[in-house]
Amino acid sequence: MEEKQVREWVYDDIVKGMHLPDITYTITSEILERYLDGIDDLNPLYLDEEYARKSPFGGRIVPPISMAIYTTVSNLIKPLGMVVPPGLVQAYQRYEFTGIVRPDEKLLIKSVVEDKYEKKGRKFVQLKSEVFNEKGEKVGTSWLTPIWSK
Amino acid sequence: MCCDEKFHELSIGDEFAPLIKKMTQEKINAYVSTAEDYNPIHVDVEFAKKTSFKGTIAPGFQCIAYISELMAREFGEGWYVGGTLDLRLTRPVRPGNTLVTRAIVADKKGADGKKIVICEVRITNQNNEDVMLGTASARSLG
């Protein structure tokens, strides 16, 4: 089998305003269980259908911050066949939650390089990712601002 | 209690009950297994020993979830729909660390007919060193 070539996505490759390939993902009940195990969260709203049905949500939901699993820089650039250079450091992150997400719902991430700049000799890149449900409603947004190592 | 009631009851400086968690390699492995984003610094003990970290570290995004858990506990629907988080990671988290997540009411304000509670949030390790700092906000649904 031919090995897929990957290369590092370095600062000079990055153009302000460029859109990254769309990504889809689904938090299945099985992924959700492992995720909740990892974050040690036993909220019945995520796990107990009967409890969740009686809640204002009318059924199970997933933690809103679970979008952070899929909006990482390395995940966003994977479809480009690229990897982040070693030494990348997460400087800042912002998240906004605007709609609930349920287990097994198919979600779409649309990402753009919102900004890139140098400050005090460090190279910053701001990536904005918007997450939409199947109805096209925006359920969340993340902004990651890592410091690029090269 | 709904977020709207809570908005009126809360005062600036109020602190919510902290959330205490112990990070383990098993929890890191479980989190990383969901991410399809393999990085040996989180899961490969031998590899990690040879890096400047001298051992595995937890993904920063894993600990952000603790702040989300605390805000969800306090604000419910006002967090799930309308919550925001602004964060800086300040120190790596290692297996064995005991982490305390805190939130203090920093401001209350109205915007677009909604009421917003803004909290200063922080996670510290067992040495009382900050590992994450920032703000989180939740809004009323009224």
Q: Hey, which residues 64-123 in chain B have their CB within 8 Å of chain A?
A: 64-69, 72-73, 76-77, 79-89
Complex ipTM value = 0.91
Q: What is the number of other CB atoms lying within 10 angstroms of the CB of residue A89?
A: 11
* Integer Cα distance of A129 and A141 in angstroms: 6
The predicted pLDDT at position A89 comes to 82
Predicted confidence (pLDDT) at residue B116 exceeds the cutoff of 60: yes
The predicted pLDDT at position A2 comes to 52
Report yes or no: A69 at the B interface, CB cutoff 8 Å: yes
Burial A2-27 (b: 16+ CB within 10 A, else e): eeeeeeebeeeeeeeeeebeebebeb
For residues B68-90, average pLDDT: 95
Predicted confidence (pLDDT) at residue B104 exceeds the cutoff of 90: yes
Report yes or no: A56 at the B interface, CB cutoff 8 Å: yes
Q: Which of A42, A46, A89, A97 to mutate to test the interface with B (most CBs of B within 10 A)?
A: A97
Predicted confidence (pLDDT) at residue B141 exceeds the cutoff of 70: no
Nearest CA in chain B to A141: B84
Distance (Å) from the C-alpha of residue B60 to the closest C-alpha of chain A?
Answer: 8
Distance of CA B125 to the CA centre of its chain: 13
| Nearest CB neighbour to B64, from listed A31, A65, A99 | A65
Q: Note the pLDDT tens digit of each residue in A55-98.
A: 999 999 999 999 999 999 989 999 999 988 887 888 899 999 99
For residues B30-58, average pLDDT: 87
Predicted confidence (pLDDT) at residue B3 exceeds the cutoff of 80: no
In the block, which residue shows the tokens 């007919």?
B113
Distance of CA A135 to the CA centre of its chain: 19
The predicted pLDDT at position B4 comes to 66
For residues A118-130, average pLDDT: 95
